[in-house]
Amino acid sequence: MSLASLFDLTGRSVLVTGAASGLGLAYAETMLEAGARTFMTDMDAQALDTEVERLKARYPLVEGAVLDVADAAAVDALVDGMAARHGAIDCVFANAGISAGRGFVVEAGQLENLDLAHWDKVLRINLDGVLHTVRAAARHMKPRREGRIVVTTSIAGLRSESLSGYAYVTSKAAANNLVRQAAIELAPHNVLVNAIAPGPFATNINGGRLRLPESAERMRTHIPMGRVAQVDEIKGLALLLASPASSYMTGAIIPVDGGATAR
């Protein structure tokens, strides 16, 4: 197989959740540029419509729909419909998630002050939503004995993280182990499950923290490369994990963090 064909997604169908902005939008752009029919979902209907229309001018194989990944029935219906229309789903990016919340460096983020409603909301989207998406994808991929599932987790799920809230770090740690568990179950069926674990990226989800001078400086001092990442810096790994080039990779949790977890 040539190098070009290793990274060619022509004729493949890809689903990206949380695709209206940030890393999800970068994933969708990458899949489209590599030739895949790409279905984008998000809770933000206006932002999603704007991005789908923008991309459609260059990539006619893009579609979009509003989706709440916390609703298992809605996820199943969307994945079933996509498979029925296109014959198969080759890759799914389970990317939808919500923000880190306040870490324990501020009083509001400490244990005794936790907002339990926020805890429930974060786990419902960041963990239950991942489960719903991975499960729906696996149901279609297993019989075909082929598929790629990529989950966006976080380096906050690999270690304690004082700048991130309890709900966020817990949801991401659980998602990392969900990836490992699903990878082992699905490996005999040639369905590969991996995770991208980003460090700080210049995205909307981190925007509030990056605007605080003390938080931005704290992030930079804990990153050996001395800066936060730009969104385009995720695209190469996304393409690798969606493409034939990753045919012997499963169960990997891959940090993209400027060296932060190497300390």
Catalytic residue set: 168
Judge contact between 168 and 100, C-beta under 8 A. Answer: yes
Contact predicate 198/158, CB 8 Å? no
**Tokens representing 88?**
């198969």
**Cα–Cα distance measured from residue 174 to residue 158, given in angstroms and rounded to the nearest whole number:** 10
CA 24 to chain centroid, in Å, comes to 6
Sign of the C-alpha dihedral computed for residues 14, 10, 256 and 207 taken in this order: negative
236: which 2 tokens? Answer: 């190469």
Alpha carbons within 13 angstroms on the beta-carbon side of residue 213 total: 0
Q: Which amino acid is at 115?
A: D
**Residues 16, 91 contacting (CB under 8 angstroms):** no
